[in-house]
Structures are given as C-alpha cells and as structure tokens.
Amino acid sequence: MSESPKIGLREAVGLLTIFLVAKAFIPYLAFIFDWGLSGTWLIVLAHLPLGVVGVLVLVWLLNRHPGKTIVEIGEELVGPIPNIFLALMLLIFLIGLVALELRQFGEFLLTAFLPNTPLSVVLLAFMAAMLAVAYMGIDTLARVAWLFFLPFLFGVFVLLALTANLWESHGLYPLLGPGPWGLVKGVGSTLGVGSDIILLAIIAPFLASGVMRTVGLATVLISGLTVFSIILVTSMVYPFPVAHELVLPIFEVSRAINLGRFLVRLETIFLPLWMFAGLISMTAGLYGAAAVTARILKMPYYRPFLFPISVIVIAVSFLFPNIISAVQISFNLLITWSVVPVGLVVGALLAAEIWRSRKNQQKGGPKSGDGPRSGAARGGLRTKPSGKGT
Amino acid sequence: MSLFSKLSRRVLFREPQEYQSLFESGSQEDQQQAPAGDRRQFKRKKAETERLADLINQDVPLPTDLQEIKQTLGKLFRSPENNDVVIRQFIIGMEPPLQALMVFYDGLADKSTQNMAILQPLMFFPSLRPDPGKKLVDSLMDRVAESLLPGNEVVTVRNYQELADNVMNGLTVVVVDGQDRALAVETRAWEHRGISTPQVEAVIRGPQEAFTEQIRANITLVRKYLRRTSLVSKFVKVGEMSQAQCAIMYLDDIANPQLVEEVLRRLQSLKADFIHESGILEQMVQDTDTPLSPQALSTERPDRVAANLIEGRVAILVDGNPWVLIVPTTFFSLMQAAEDAYIRWPGGTFARVVRYVGLAVAMLLPAFYVAAVTYHQDFIPTDLLLAMTGAREAVPFPTILEILMMELAFELIREAGIRIPGTVGTTLGIVGALILGQAAVAANIVSPILIVVVAVTALGSFAIPNYELSVSVRMLRFVYLLLAVFLGLFGIVAGLFVHAALLVQMRSFGVPFLAPLTPMTASSPDYLWRGPVWQQERRPDYLDPLRSRRQPRISRGWTRHKRKGGGGDGGGK
C-alpha cells in the first residue's frame, strides 16, 4: 500500500483523461444530441477552449497553495464552517457521479452482454473491484490508468476508423444544427461535461511540482479531442435524428462495423476497453469521495471511508426505477447542472484568493500561501500529504 | 500467545494449553510414567548441548592445552559416536618434539593434500629457527604457516567457532600444544557434479554452461564472463542450525550501493534453521508474499547472471544449489530469455511477442472459452458457433465442469511426468495426454474443441521462460475461470483490473514490478520488445546505477569511419 503516494505526469494525465472520457461509453452523453442536433460536434468542440480556460483557472488556484487539496485550500481561504458546505457539495457531486455512472455501466453490461444476470450482482461485482483498487491507493490506480491509457486511446480511434466505410458527411448538415443561438444554449447547458476535472484538485498534493499545468492542459485537450471524435463519427454514422434514438451511441457504432464476412460483431473486442475505462473512472470517483470526506473530517486516512461511501453509492444507484430515469437524471444533474456546484466551489475559492491577494498587496505583506497565514502556522492542518493512506 | 491464538488452538485444533512446554519437557503422562533417571538424562543432555552451543556462539578462545582441546573437540563433533570426524594426533619432529593434532571430516578433506601439505612437512621435515632475539614458542604458528605448510590457503583460527566452521567447510585444522592459535589448511575435495548444460533454460544459440552445486565453481563461471576487478563476491552465512554459505555478487562501480546494502541487510537479518536452497532463501527475502509472481529472477545460466550484473543488479548464490537469484527483477525481466540477445533483434522481438501471447493464452484462454460459450454466444462467428454447438451437443456436462476436468487431468499428467524418471516420463506424458484426450472425446465427456483449448493453453504456459511465473499463471488460470463462469467477460475484465493493480503495487527490493512501463523510466529498448544491440545505450534507470550509460550513441565505430584506400565495388589500384 502507498505510504506516501506520488503520481507522475503521465499517470496523472492517463487517470484524469479516462475519468473524463469514460462517460462517452454510457448512455447519458447521448442526450447532448438533443441540444446540438446535427451540430452536436460543434458543441463539443466549443467545450475545448472553455475547458482550457477552466483548467488554467483551477491550476492557478492550486499552484498558489502547493501541496494542498481543494478542501484544505478552502479551509484556509474561507474558514472551516463555509468550507464544510463547499466540501459537502463536492462530496455530493462525486457520490452522485459514481452512483449514476455505476448504474449506467451496470445497465449497459446487462443490455449488451449479460441479459440474464441480476443487476445487483453486476453492481456488487463492479463495487468489489473498485473497492479493492481504491484501497490500494491513488498512485496504484494512476499507474493502472497509465498502463491502460495508450491501448485505450488506440482502441477508441481504431474503432472509429473501422467505421470509415459507413461515414456519411450529410449527417453533419446543417452545420450549425439548431442555429448559432441554439448552439450557444447547448454549449452553456452542457458545460458539466468537464466538471470531472475537479479530481485534479484532489490529487494535486501527489503531483510533482511544476507539472500541474501540463497535466491539466493535456487532460483537457486529449479528452476533448477524444469525445469530439466520438461525437463526430457517431453523427456521421448515425445522422440526427437516428443518433438521438441511440441508447448507447458508441456501442451502436461498434456494432455497425462491417468489413466483410468475418469482421463483424467487433463490439466484443472493445468491451474490455469500455469496462476498464468505467472501472478506472468510477474507482477514481470513489477515491475522490473518500479523500474529500477524510479531509473534511481532518483525518489522515481515507481508507475507513471507502466502504461506507460504497454503500451509499450502491444505495443511490438503486434509487432509480429504471435505466431511462437514471439516464435522464444523469444528464440533467451531471451534464447540465454539475457545473454549478463545481463552479461555485472553484469560483468561491478563486474570489477569496483574489480578495486576499489584493488585501495583502495593499498592506504590503506576503502573498497568500506563505507566511503566518498559511495553514501550517494555524496548526491542525496538514500542508503536506499525510504519511499514510491519502 | 494472544487470546485469539489460545482460543483457536483449544477450540479449532483441540490443543491443550500446555502443548509447547510439554513438547519440550515431555507430556505430563510421560513424565508421570517415565523413570526419574530418564528425566535426569534428558536434562543433562540438554544442558550439555547448550554448553556446546555456547562454545560456538560466544567465540570462546582456544586454550593452549592440547589435551583439553582434544577433549572439547571430541564433545563438539560428537566423536567417537560420529564416525565422520577424524581427530588425528601426531608429533612435530622438532627439538624438542611438539604434540599436535589435526581434525577434519572424512570425505570432505583431500587425503593426499593432507599427507603432502600437512603431515609430511610437519612430521619429517620441520626445521624452524626462532627470529633473532625471540623465542621460537612466541612465533611458532606464524613460522609453521610460513615455512612448513605448503598449502595454498592457510588461515589462522583463534576460537572454537572458527575452528568448527573451517572443519565443516572441508578444511583441515592443525592444533599445536602450547599455542592459543590453530591453523586451517585448504584441503577441500568433496565429490561434486561437473559443469553441464542447462536443464531448464536451454538455448539453441548461446553458451551451454550451467551452474553447479559448488559455490566456488559458480563464482568462477561468472568471473569468466565478467572480467572486471570491480566484480565483488561477498560471502554471507545464512541459517542458525546449519549455516549455508551464500554469496552476493555485484559490480562495485555499477550497482547502487544502497541496493547492495539492502540485499546484505536482508540476508544478515535472517533467523531460520536451515536455508539450503535458493528457493527457500528467495521466499525469506522477497518483498511480499504474493502468489501472483516471483520477485526475484532465478537462473541456472552464468551468462544471464553476467548480463544482469552489468546492468547493475545483484546476484545471490547459495552453496549446494545451481540456481542463482538476481535482484531486483521486473515483470519484463521474467519474460526475457537469454537467447533474445544472441539472435538478431527482429527474431528476438518476435520471440518475445510470442511469449507474451503465450502468457495471455495460458492465463485467459480457458476463461474466454467459458465466457463465450456460457454467456456471449453471439460473439462467436456463426459458422464457428454451429460447429462448436454440434460438437458439444452430446456432452452431458456444463462447460465449466468439462474444462475443470480436463485442466485438472492435464495438471496431473504434468506432475506425474515430472516424477516418473527418464524418457518413460516424457513418453508417458505425451501418450497419456493423447489417449486421455481422445478417449474423453470418444466417450462424449468433453468436446473436441475443448481439447484444443486445453492443449493451446498448455503450450502457452510452456512458452513462459520463468518456471515460477508459469506456476503462478497456472494457478491464476483457475481464478479467471471462476470469474468467467459467474460473470462472463465482465468477470475476466474485473479480474484483470484488480490483477493489474496488484502487479503495479508489487515491488522487488524497492523497484516497482512493472518498471520501466509504469512508472515510466528511461531504459534501452529491451522490455516489451528487443531493440538492436547497438541501441542498448542505457542501463535501466529504475536501478539507479552508478553509471547509467553503458555504451556511446555510436557504438559501432566502423560505421563512422570509412575504410582507407580502395575505390568503389571491386575497385582498386
């Protein structure tokens, strides 16, 4: 087990990219077609520069407080009581994310591959694997993610390339889909696609100094381009409104591959990639939730919270009566509205940081993050990652 | 003993609480029934063995009285009950004559060396004169060692522990009356096997020498390949009841000193009865007790040891064992064979790819078969599906039972083939597998395609170059089978996920097991594929060697400098 986890640049990029891209393999991303119609690919393309701006802001905030997670930064900037509310919002977001992804991955598996297996068995099996790896530590998970990252990207792009004979460019027309204003509304309503990047703020203490910007930018660019490619190819293979009817877009795209008598039913080959991506993504979310809980309670160990949080996640994932309601709520909560809690947290901290910097500059004192106002001097706060379990 | 241990012993194993103490002193029943004389004898014997152990453990110096030494040696070596030890008293023919004795194990010491290098010079030709101004008695042993004993290695012995160690190692110890020191003369000559070809790591192209049970011979074999003054072989004794001679070898100007220190620390801290085999030693020094994979590379090839030492690793040799451990190791080292480097790089890379495919097949093919047949029939192309279904139609057992029966039968054949000696074993294994498979198919117990699956799986496991890794893979195959039977392909994927995490977490002497892939570190192209020899420029960064570069960027100087004189093809003056 990791005593003092360290995550390298490549591992961090692999972990965060898979965390962001895994949603492309479950149904709820398909709802984005409702906003973009034939121009959905433009919405995803527009998310890229916005994502870059967002991650740069986040990285700026994190770099002002090296060695701290966002919960500790919040405690330092806004005080313990308001920070609890901010941290709870993050926690609820992460638990909701994992629970909804778990339900959708489970239903995906049942629909496509295990029709006779009870849902509870599938979800419990997922959770058992997630618990085992989350227990081993975030650096273990990051290394597994890096191990899988290049085959994952290769698999995704090979899958998309194999459908080249089915591409029809008329699926992209009209180019602007619902029109410019419709696209702007679509971009605004689906900003939550990138909320998952908040995981960077939780694993920040374990990254080497000076790499955070590179990690953030590389993650946003690679994940953005990957999701863009998936949406683009889906739009060309299944033009709108057919794309709107798909429950599992990428699964349907893979089923469409037909390169001769023997090269059919290739979705089998890609299933392991999707399942791996889902496992890594949900394990990262589970770890994030446990780590945030540990930071809220100022405990050095996150492992005791893994099991209780997994119970909550399973319970939440079973709340929805069927997959349709789960997908609908996922889209509304995660894609549309998740930007609110995450944005609130980051925005509040950003505002506090700017206010404090200006106040210190006016007084001519040290900048925020060093000197007597730092967490170390206050006592009771860890400014470095704890020795065990985090 | 904790409360839980006590409870478990009483409830689960029905051991009486006084088990351990009674074992040592005899059961209460025995104590009540045994006569008092036997109990006194037992206690006397125990006290005597403890006294003799103290002689060794507390570095008791040798006394000067020869008779006292002779009596003590008799008790120490259990003479005359022990017929192997010889304590031969003789007289050194000086004026005045001196009493002396030599002690050795019959069978370990060479008689002709004893006669020529000890007895003859001391008994017949002693002519010692004292140094000017000194008495002969003060420098007798030095003069005897310098002038009278022509043996190539003569060591001074000052206490009973050193004396016993040297005698047990085959040397002959000479004790002289009135001297507080003895001399140990090199007379080792026990029977041993000669250098032969490798049994397990056979290659078509490459050296055909393998290690033997002699640690000195093994060290010599490595020195033959690595001719560097910085090649250090450091001896360490390991074990409590019987100390095994171990040695670590490393290149002092390449290996990381912290790695060497860690290896020594682990070896010197071992407290076990008897560590006589490198496999036992490996289990005592490895980082984690996991069935997933070995954490040290064991090899019987000196060329492989030399190649690893030059990279910065450390070799651990155990006397009496032809397998040498190399630490630290990674997954990719375990999948390499010596021959990869000796053939051209496309061939080496191809062989490595085949091995990785073999590993995947050995571990996952049965599980995939069960998952496909049980849960995912639509994955299989229709023609193949019809053929498989037709073949399985008459089989009354579920797929998982079929495959478990055949896998277990194959494992039985494999184990039985090892135990049966000679060519009979090999023939029996092949015939047994053929007949068993054919008969099982004819009896509709299993389907023909399953025989193919099991056979290909077995071939895959034989492609794994490291024996211990192949054993681990064979065991893990059954875990994946169970996952496949319950959860189909998803079970296999979940198992792979946890398996990958466990492998990533493993370390070998502090080095991550999947380095240099994750964490990614600088290395020459020699882990997933075998790059050209002239591109092997760097030592593995995860070893943090003292010299990281092993050859310059242009290692083939002839490619840079053209030959002087001569025109084009066939040209000339």
Q: Which domain holds residue B270?
A: 215-329
Nearest CA-CA partner of A30 in A288, A299, A240: A240
Cα–Cα distances (Å) from B297 to A237, A249, B222, in that order, read 51, 47, 16
Residue B475 lies in a domain: yes
Nearest to A147 among B498, B502, B504 (CB): B504
Same domain assignment for residues B411 and B492: yes
Cα–Cα distances (Å) from B247 to B36, B218, B262, B279, in that order, read 48, 10, 14, 15
DSSP label of B62: P
Contact (CB<8Å) B504/A140: yes
Same domain assignment for residues B155 and B292: no
Contact (CB<8Å) A272/B491: no
pLDDT digits (tens, 9 = 90+) for B382-407: 888 888 888 888 888 888 988 998 88
Report helix, strand or coil for B293. coil
Burial of B511 (0-12, 13-18, 19+ CB in 10 A): buried
Residue B147 one-letter amino acid: S
The encoded tokens of residue B219 equal 């060290």
Q: Are B474 and B362 in contact (CB under 8 A)?
A: yes
**B432 Cβ partners below 8 Å, 6+ apart?**
B413, B416, B417
Same domain assignment for residues B139 and B246: no
Contact (CB<8Å) A143/B519: yes
Same domain assignment for residues B372 and B303: no
Same domain assignment for residues B482 and B379: yes
Residue B526 lies in a domain: no
User: How far off is chain A from B486, nearest CA to CA, in Å?
Assistant: 9
Q: How many DSSP H helices and E strands does chain B contain?
A: 21, 12
B92 membership: H or E segment, kind and range: strand B85-92
Residue B471 lies in a domain: yes
Task: For residues B17 and B132, give the distance between their C-alpha atoms in angstroms, rounded to a whole number.
Answer: 71
Name the residue in chain A with its Cα closest to that of B382: A262
Same domain assignment for residues B325 and B378: no
DSSP label of B188: B
Average pLDDT of chain B, as a whole number: 83
Average pLDDT of chain A, as a whole number: 86
Residue B568 lies in a domain: no
Same domain assignment for residues B181 and B231: no
Question: Of A161-170, A280-289, B13-22, B298-307, which range is least confident?
Answer: B13-22
Residue where a domain terminates, one of B481, B512, B543: B512
Q: How many DSSP H helices and E strands does chain A contain?
A: 17, 0
Task: For residues B318 and B212, give the distance between their C-alpha atoms in angstroms, rounded to a whole number.
Answer: 10
Give yes or no for B516 touching A (CB within 8 A).
Answer: no
**Cβ atoms within 10 Å, residue B315:** 25
User: How far off is chain A from B254, nearest CA to CA, in Å?
Assistant: 27
In the predicted model, is pLDDT for residue B72 greater than 70? yes
Q: What percent of chain A has pLDDT over 90?
A: 49
Task: Determine phi and psi for A84, rounding to 5 degrees.
Answer: -60, -40
Burial B336-348 (b: 16+ CB within 10 A, else e): bbbbbbbbebeeb
Query: What residues of chain A lie within 8 A of the CB of B489, using their CB?
Result: 113, 268, 271-272
Residue B204 lies in a domain: no
Residue B535 lies in a domain: no
Largest pairwise CA distance in chain B: 109
Contact (CB<8Å) A11/B381: no
Same domain assignment for residues B85 and B7: no
Whole-prediction pTM: 0.82
pLDDT digits (tens, 9 = 90+) for A314-351: 999 999 998 888 888 888 888 888 888 888 899 999 99
The encoded tokens of residue B461 equal 């496991």
pLDDT digits (tens, 9 = 90+) for B221-248: 898 888 888 888 888 888 877 788 899 9
Q: Are A262 and B381 in contact (CB under 8 A)?
A: yes
Task: For residues A59 and A213, give the distance between their C-alpha atoms in angstroms, rounded to a whole number.
Answer: 6
Query: What residues of chain B lie within 8 A of the CB of A114, using their CB?
Result: 375, 487-488, 490
Give the pLDDT band (50/70/90) at residue A374: very low
Same domain assignment for residues B323 and B346: no
In the predicted model, is pLDDT for residue A189 greater than 80? yes
Residue B172 lies in a domain: yes
Give yes or no for A117 touching B (CB within 8 A).
Answer: yes
Residue B555 lies in a domain: no
DSSP labels, B353-391:
HHHHHHHHHHHHHHHHHHHHHHT-GGGS-HHHHHHHHHH
Same domain assignment for residues B314 and B433: no
Same domain assignment for residues B390 and B347: yes
Mean pLDDT calculated for residue range B461-484: 93
User: How far off is chain A from B461, nearest CA to CA, in Å?
Assistant: 23
- Angle of helix A212-237 relative to helix A9-21, nearest 10 degrees, comes to 30
Task: Determine phi and psi for B192, rounding to 5 degrees.
Answer: -155, 165
Q: Are A18 and A280 in contact (CB under 8 A)?
A: yes
Task: For residues B236 and B245, give the distance between their C-alpha atoms in angstroms, rounded to a whole number.
Answer: 6
Quote the number of domains for chain B. Answer: 4
Give the pLDDT band (50/70/90) at residue B480: very high
The encoded tokens of residue B27 equal 């059961």
Task: For residues B249 and B326, give the distance between their C-alpha atoms in angstroms, rounded to a whole number.
Answer: 9
Compute the count of residue pairs across chains A and B with CB atoms less than 8 Å apart.
85
Same domain assignment for residues B38 and B108: no
Q: Which CATH architecture has domain A9-378?
A: Up-down Bundle (1.20)
